Structure 1
Amino acid sequence: MKAVPHLWLHAFWPLLALLSRQSECAAKNGNGGNVVEHHQPSYWEQPPFSQPYFDNTTRRETTTTVGQSAYLHCRVRNLGDRAVSWIRKRDLHILTVGILTYTNDQRFQSLHSDGSDEWTLKISSPQIRDSGVYECQVSTEPKISQAYHLSVVVSKAMITGNPELYIKSGSDINLTCTVLKTPEPPSFIYWYRGEHVINYSQRGGISVVTEKQTRTSKLLISRALPADSGNYTCAPSTAESASVMVHVLNGEHPAAMQHGNSSNSGAATRTLALLLLLLHAGSFAR
Structure 2
Amino acid sequence: MANGNIQSNNPTREIVLCAQSKITNSGNSLTETTTRGPYFDAGSSKNVSALLGKTAYLNCRVKNLGNRTMSPQVSWVRHRDVHLLTVGRYTYTSDQRFRAIHQPNSEDWTLQIKYPQHRDTGVYECQISSTPHLSHFIYLTVVEPDTEIVGGPELFIDRGSTINLTCVVRNSPEPPAYIFWNHNEGIISYMSSRGGVSVSTERGETSRSVLLMQNAKPSDSGSYQCNPSNAKPANVTVHVLNGEHPEAMQHGGNQRMGPSLGALAFISYVLLAYC
TM-score range, shorter chain: 0.7 to 0.9
1:147 aligns with 2:133: no
Return the TM-score normalized by structure 2: 0.72
Look up the equivalent residue of 1:234 and give its one-letter code: C
After TM superposition, what 4+ stretches of structure 1 lie above 6 angstroms from structure 2?
A: 258-262, 272-275
Aligned twin of 1:224: 216
Return the TM-score normalized by structure 1: 0.70
1:185 aligns with 2:171: no
Look up the equivalent residue of 1:104 and give its one-letter code: S
CA distance in 1 between partners of 2:53 and 2:229 (Å): 11
Is residue 145–residue 170 contact of structure 2 (8 Å, CA) maintained in 1? yes
1:134 aligns with 2:127: no
CA distance in 2 between partners of 1:224 and 1:64 (Å): 40
Q: Map 1:267-282 onto structure 2 (within 5 A).
A: 270-271=260-261
**Taking structure 1 as reference, are residues 49 and 229 closer, same or farther at Cα in structure 2, changes over 3 Å only?**
farther
**Taking structure 1 as reference, are residues 267 and 206 closer, same or farther at Cα in structure 2, changes over 3 Å only?**
same
Aligned twin of 1:79: 65
Aligned twin of 1:210: 201
2:39 to 27, 37, 53: 53
Aligned twin of 1:236: 228
**Taking structure 1 as reference, are residues 103 and 192 closer, same or farther at Cα in structure 2, changes over 3 Å only?**
farther
1:200 aligns with 2:190: yes
Structure 1: gaps spanning 5 or more residues: 15-45, 276-286
CA distance in 1 between partners of 2:118 and 2:263 (Å): 65
Q: Secondary structure at the match of 1:114?
A: coil
Q: How many residues align?
A: 238
**Taking structure 1 as reference, are residues 201 and 247 closer, same or farther at Cα in structure 2, changes over 3 Å only?**
same
Look up the equivalent residue of 2:222 and give its one-letter code: G
Deviation at 1:242, TM superposition (A): 1.6
Structure 2: gaps spanning 5 or more residues: 1-15, 266-275
Is residue 248–residue 254 contact of structure 2 (8 Å, CA) maintained in 1? no
2:238 to 238, 242, 246: 246
CA distance in 1 between partners of 2:248 and 2:57 (Å): 52
1:121 to 106, 111, 127: 111
CA distance in 2 between partners of 1:145 and 1:160 (Å): 45
Is residue 68–residue 238 contact of structure 1 (8 Å, CA) maintained in 2? no
Deviation at 1:85, TM superposition (A): 1.4
Is residue 248–residue 255 contact of structure 2 (8 Å, CA) maintained in 1? no
Is residue 157–residue 241 contact of structure 2 (8 Å, CA) maintained in 1? yes
Offset from partner CA, 1:116-142 (integer Å, 9 cap, x none) = 211122222211100011010122244
Deviation at 1:187, TM superposition (A): 2.3
Is residue 108–residue 122 contact of structure 1 (8 Å, CA) maintained in 2? yes
Is residue 110–residue 121 contact of structure 1 (8 Å, CA) maintained in 2? yes
Q: Secondary structure at the match of 1:179?
A: strand
Alpha-carbon RMSD across the aligned residues, in angstroms, is: 3.4
Q: Percent identity?
A: 49
